[in-house]
Amino acid sequence: MKKPLVPANFKVPQRLETKRFLVRMLTIYDVDKDYDAVMTSISHLKGVFSPYSSWPSKNLTKEQDLIDLGWHQKEFQEKTSFAYTVMKPDESQCIGCVYIYPSDKRKFDAIVFLWARKSELKNGLDDELFAVVKKWIKEKWPFKNVAYPGREIPWSKWKSL
């Protein structure tokens, strides 16, 4: 079993709300909206987790996405990592995701990845989401050194750390 990412007594933030979006735990019940967001943003999402990642593939099935969501939900419950869905305020559409993972680099205690749905890029959602999440992590989470690979640290440098 993996070690929890946060102290046992840490109250994990359940929601982050702005006028433009809602961030909450990603669950298996989000599969339809999540799958739609991923499949309509494939070209944009390639490389979010690393330039070598094969996720997402145009061959991704809804069943595979459901399995991923179940895994994320279980890890959230065990506090070993945290996956959040980003929804429109009325929850009519998934417009992104936020992931908080343990770091395998000694210098950092957590890694944060996030993405916005491709159709929301023209509206500046990606930059806004990144700024809001970065502030939220700093103010509400117990981490001392958080990495944002591919955003604040170029992948070439990240690989060599």
Residue ranges of the chain with per-residue pLDDT less than 70: 1
Give the helix/strand (H/E) hosting 84.
strand 82-87
Q: CA of 15: how far to CAs of 40, 54, 92, 139, in Å?
A: 25, 29, 17, 14
Res 60: pLDDT: 97
Asked if residue 16 lies in contact with residue 132, where contact means CB atoms within 8 angstroms, the answer is yes
101's enclosing H/E stretch is strand 94-101
Q: How far is Cα 12 from Cα 101, in angstroms, rounded to an integer? A: 14
Q: Which residues of 55-76 are buried (b: 16+ CB within 10 A; e: fewer)?
A: ebeeebeeeebbebbeebbebb
Considering the chain, what percentage of its residues have pLDDT values greater than 90?
92
- Rounded-to-integer distance, Cα 50 and Cα 41, Å: 16
Rounded to two decimals, the pTM is: 0.96
Q: What are the extents of the domains in the chain?
A: 15-160
Say what the pLDDT of residue 1 is: 66
Q: What CATH architecture is 15-160?
A: 3-Layer(aba) Sandwich (3.40)
pLDDT per residue as tens digits for the range 37-57: 999 999 989 989 999 898 999
